[in-house]
Amino acid sequence: MIGMRGPTPPVNAHRRKRLPRAVRSEQLLKLADRLFAERGFHGASMDELASRAGVSKPVIYDHFGSKERLFALCVRRTGEALAEQVDAEVRKETDPRTRLRAGSIAYFRFLQGQLQAWAVLFAEEEARDARFAAEAARIRHRQSELMLELMAETTGTTPSHQGRERLEAMTLAVAGAYESLSLWWREHPEVPPEQLADWLLDLLWPGLEQLMTQLASA
């Protein structure tokens, strides 16, 4: 008789809302996005998420299994949304420089619209936890690959093995420049996305163009 966990009849039965699973999932993901953005992975607690969502913790665990998986999901979702948006805009153009510009604008517009998620991605929070590393790297690499692809399309060549290594390094460096500029942007929100894009293009395009030429002829 000892140690039985008792029935514990629900107390606030009056305000319990029953949402369809998918809807609840979506709601939780959005709230989690925001919470992680605010507090970082370690600072965020499942308790707080539950209370913000107005549900009990088991609901969350039923949906996502663990804090870590929830976090990974948030990050991946955001990363993918970003990539899609950038990709879509890029595909609309043909001229290399114009494409990069379009992509850049899309990038900053996305951040603008998703302030919270943005933080999750690569803000100053502990977003770069070991567990997050994989996802963060995914995103950066995705951007990097997108650029590589564009370059290949543009130059119509595939770089040599050696050139490939350099190219990878450079595109990652470029991705880093974008991230870092994003952080600066947070404190200068009055600057429009187009401005940021143009600045970066002026900074990076000369070098990139030359790089493409070099590698194409190599």
Partner DNA sequence: GATGAATGAGTTTTCATTCAT
Partner DNA sequence: GATGAATGAAAACTCATTCAT
Helices (H), 92-192: 96-113, 115-122, 130-155, 161-186
Q: Could you tell me which residues come within 8 angstroms of residue 68 by beta carbon, excluding any fewer than 6 positions away?
A: 131
Half-sphere exposure of 152 (CA within 13 A, CB side): 14
Report the residue number, 132 or 178, with the smaller CB distance to DNA.
Answer: 132
Residues that bind a copy of itself (CB under 8 A): 1-5, 7-8, 21-22, 25, 39-43, 61-65, 68, 73, 123-133, 136-137, 140, 165-166, 168-170, 172-181, 183-185, 188, 191, 196, 199-200, 202-208, 210-211
What does 205 interact with, of a copy of itself, DNA, none (CB < 5 to 8 A by kind)? a copy of itself
For the chain, how big is the Rg over CA atoms in Å?
A: 22
80-99 residues in contact with DNA (CB under 7 A) are none
Question: What is the longest distance spanned by two Cα atoms in the chain?
Answer: 82
What does 10 interact with, of a copy of itself, DNA, none (CB < 5 to 8 A by kind)? DNA
40-59 residues in contact with DNA (CB under 7 A) are 44-48, 54-59
What 3 state SS string does 155-180 have?
HCCCCCHHHHHHHHHHHHHHHHHHHH
Chain residues that interact with DNA, rule: CB under 7 A: 4-13, 16-21, 24, 44-48, 54-59, 61-62, 65-68
